[in-house]
Structure 1
Amino acid sequence: MTKLSATIAKLTVMRGVTAAPANAVGASRLKDLEGFGANPGALMARIHVPSRLHEKPALVVVLHGCTQTADGYDHGSGWSHLADEQGFVCLFPEQQRTNNPNLCFNWFSPADNRRDRGEALSIRQMIDATVAAYDIDPSRVFVTGLSAGGAMTSVMLASYPELFAGGAIIAGLPHGSADNVQQALQAMRDPGAINAKQLGDLVRKASRHEGSWPRISIWHGSADQTVSSKNADAILAQWLSVHDLDPTTAATEMIGQHRRRVWKDGSSRPLVEDFRIAKMGHGTPIATTGPEACGSAMPHMLDAGISSTRRIASTWGLLGADQTAQAASTYKRPDETPAHLPAVKFSRLDPMASETSPPAGSARAGVEKVIHDALRAAGLMR
């Protein structure tokens, strides 16, 4: 029998769900979610609920990047289409220009990047309302985000680890990177020396959590000139420390030109995985053709021939058995099988052979572009 509290929550939430108008990427697939809580961060909430929903479905929380909207990120990433295929719910917190002129989540603000404060609390309230309204399996709640959304994903995973079974951070930054604008810009350029224990302590001290920690998937382009890929190294060190994993025990594979490493627990369950996408700049890697096709190419949604959306969903166990097997085998040589990946020593990621350096000419223009891109990515410049 459905609990009375869940019924009330569902009626409250669904009463506040209204269709959104079409936008620049076509007719919206998302609806507005209202009445989800006090909303101290003054965020919008968008939601996609498939017409055919699994019993006790999973929930994927998706955080867009700067200059993006929930609709735009959904169109590029294809999350709502995958939800229709697999019967899970998608929740899209959305920034407003009154909070940040570039629509960046304020991951660098102490008013928003702590447990039970500002935007972080608003996102939690959206999650709680959605879980109650749609009878979500609380053990299958996941979060992912790009850039500022990736940095906010780090905030959510550290601040509310009890909420999430897993998280995927795309071109983001580790938790605790910045508490002001200057620190944010410096962290985006170069996070500095990496001390795994200190980074891990930032997560461990962000809540009073004593249970198991979320599984982590890290994605970063090798040619990202907006958020340095050293941040992916720092995120990796942070979560290897939190999971108490030996950095030297990674299993490694090449997926086309792209490198994936994975760390598992004693039961061979993946706990941390790290994707470095060859030659890719700042954005979310997608595939627009082939068996992994999902989403559409657009600014910061980059066709790299590999779908982060499908592979993240596969890691979280959200795909059917056939699609999971297909994603695991795509682009592999016949003798490569994930179950028998060699262990390799890891310290810091060596530059990928396919990585290209910025051209030597026009140095001043190049530096100005990097600065302007960084200011926009941090929400500090239009």
Structure 2
Amino acid sequence: MKLNEGFLDSMKEAFALFRRNDPAAAAEIVKRAMRGEPADVTTAHAHSHDDTTDTTTTRLADLLQPRRHIPTPRAEVDVQDCGHFSVRRYVDAAGQRDYKVYVPGHYRGETLPLIVMLHGCTQNADDFAAGTRMNALAETQGFIVAYPTQPQSANSSKCWNWFRPADQQRDRGEPSLIAGITREVMADYNVDPKRVFVAGLSAGGAMAAIMAQTYPDLYAAAGVHSGLPVGCAHDLPSALAAMRGGKVRSKAQKSMRADAHCAQASPCPLIVFHGDADATVHPANANELIREFDAREAKPVRAPSSDSRVRKHTVRYMTSAAGVDAELWVIHGAPHAWAGGSSSGTYTDPSGPDASAEMVRFFLEHPRRSS
């Protein structure tokens, strides 16, 4: 038992060193622990730059080193480490998907909202969480976050398949999997069923729009960042055309306009962000997303004098014929990236405005209305 306690102490010290960006020293402690020797931090540091470090040490460092594009600022790590970020797997008739769940550190079983975050192409749950800082907001605002993950086996670029008819329908394909993950998290934690929301970036944004359209009984509101409207594509060529801003509705959709997904306003409140310099998904798609909403007000917003780094943006506030609210945030000069995101994730534009904070604000203002 004494040996096991010593081994666990060594592992704790090793991971602490990895968090302090000293993988070689941590690997040395792991090697010593595997040989049954006590941890010696001083010796480990002395060998941290030794040219004689062997292949085993290098491999251990590669396996244990956190995978981040750019080191996360210490303040963000401190906030996120307060909670619990766990990996899970959901399986149903449509297949299976891994997902991660972030639960704030102060959670003690009280009723909390849930936000389901759908990453963009080439991303994963960790990357998207780091880039959007949504876990940090979960700590301060009090909600749970779920991050379904699209594997490369489902799409070579890890994109959600928003353009395939089978993945645009309720209880089929990827919508079935995402809805199933949502319900599983709701069952595992005390989630308020009237405050369940979905948001996504790019392909994830397009899929978030699909989830809002097909599961209005599950999601109270949706956020679409740099995404596309439901039903605007039916295969890969039409998806690429839609991304360029082309009109790609099929003849069948035109002849049955009243039944076409892309002719319908979102049945739940919708907040849309798009950069007007986006060269990947044309900004026309943002206008198409809110086409069935009537504008109440358009408000140009300039950066506060205290922070000239924030991009200028225009916000349009709208309501559909059914009384559903929507907001469109057009960010001037912004590329295909999450506005106000952290540089620790991919496809982020740190110059803001803060899309994550505004989505959370919009969501909490729009719990699902009683039917």
Q: What TM-score does the superposition give when structure 2 sets the normalisation length?
A: 0.68
Deviation at 1:255, TM superposition (A): 4.0
2:359 maps to which residue?
Answer: 312
2:110 and 2:254 map into 1 onto residues whose CA distance is 40
1:39 and 1:171 map into 2 onto residues whose CA distance is 30
Deviation at 1:164, TM superposition (A): 0.9
Q: More strand per residue: 1 or 2? A: 2
User: What SS does the corresponding residue of 1:316 show, helix, strand or coil?
Assistant: helix
Alpha carbons of structure 1 residues 103 and 217: separation in structure 2 relative to 1, 3 Å: same
2:242 maps to which residue?
Answer: 187
1:41 touches 1:120 (CA, 8 Å); kept in 2? no
User: For residue 273 of structure 2, what is the amino acid of its counterpart?
Assistant: W
User: For residue 304 of structure 1, what is the amino acid of its counterpart?
Assistant: S
- 5+ residue gaps, structure 1, are 1-19, 207-211, 241-246, 288-294, 320-382
2:274 maps to which residue?
Answer: 220
1:202 maps to which residue?
Answer: 260
State the identity %: 31
1:78 touches 1:296 (CA, 8 Å); kept in 2? no
Deviation at 1:110, TM superposition (A): 2.1
1:88 and 1:248 map into 2 onto residues whose CA distance is 30
1:46 touches 1:91 (CA, 8 Å); kept in 2? yes
Runs of 4+ in 1 over 4 A off after TM superposition: 25-29, 193-201
Alignment of 1:87-126 (within 5 A): 87-126=142-181
1:282 aligns with 2:330: no
User: What SS does the corresponding residue of 1:262 show, helix, strand or coil?
Assistant: strand
Alpha carbons of structure 1 residues 262 and 223: separation in structure 2 relative to 1, 3 Å: same
Alignment of 1:1-382 (within 5 A): 22-24=66-68, 30-34=85-89, 36-38=90-92, 40-53=94-107, 55-192=110-247, 201-203=259-261, 213-238=267-292, 240=293, 247-256=294-303, 257-264=312-319, 271-286=325-340, 295-296=342-343, 298-317=345-364
1:41 touches 1:121 (CA, 8 Å); kept in 2? no
User: What SS does the corresponding residue of 2:145 show, helix, strand or coil?
Assistant: strand
Deviation at 1:253, TM superposition (A): 3.6
1:174 touches 1:234 (CA, 8 Å); kept in 2? yes
User: For residue 67 of structure 1, what is the amino acid of its counterpart?
Assistant: T
- 5+ residue gaps, structure 2, are 1-62, 72-76, 304-311, 367-371
User: For residue 161 of structure 1, what is the amino acid of its counterpart?
Assistant: P
Deviation at 1:108, TM superposition (A): 1.1
2:121 touches 2:159 (CA, 8 Å); kept in 1? yes
Deviation at 1:302, TM superposition (A): 1.0
1:307 and 1:109 map into 2 onto residues whose CA distance is 31
Deviation at 1:37, TM superposition (A): 3.9
Q: What TM-score does the superposition give when structure 1 sets the normalisation length?
A: 0.66
1:286 touches 1:297 (CA, 8 Å); kept in 2? no
User: For residue 232 of structure 2, what is the amino acid of its counterpart?
Assistant: S
User: For residue 43 of structure 1, what is the amino acid of its counterpart?
Assistant: R
User: For residue 202 of structure 1, what is the amino acid of its counterpart?
Assistant: A
Deviations 1:267-319 (A, max 9, x none): xx9710000011011111016xxxxxxx3354311112311000111112279
Alpha carbons of structure 1 residues 254 and 150: separation in structure 2 relative to 1, 3 Å: same
Deviations 1:140-160 (A, max 9, x none): 000100000011111111111
1:48 touches 1:80 (CA, 8 Å); kept in 2? yes
User: For residue 214 of structure 2, what is the amino acid of its counterpart?
Assistant: S
- Give the structure, 1 or 2, with the largest relative contact order (CA under 8 Å, sep 6 or more): 1
Alpha carbons of structure 1 residues 148 and 204: separation in structure 2 relative to 1, 3 Å: closer
1:230 and 1:190 map into 2 onto residues whose CA distance is 6
Alpha carbons of structure 1 residues 200 and 127: separation in structure 2 relative to 1, 3 Å: farther
- My pick for the range that moved more, 48-57 or 180-189, is 48-57
Count of equivalent residues: 279
2:204 touches 2:227 (CA, 8 Å); kept in 1? yes
User: For residue 139 of structure 1, what is the amino acid of its counterpart?
Assistant: K
User: What SS does the corresponding residue of 1:299 show, helix, strand or coil?
Assistant: coil
2:262 and 2:235 map into 1 onto residues whose CA distance is 21
Alpha carbons of structure 1 residues 39 and 304: separation in structure 2 relative to 1, 3 Å: farther
User: For residue 63 of structure 1, what is the amino acid of its counterpart?
Assistant: L
2:270 and 2:168 map into 1 onto residues whose CA distance is 19
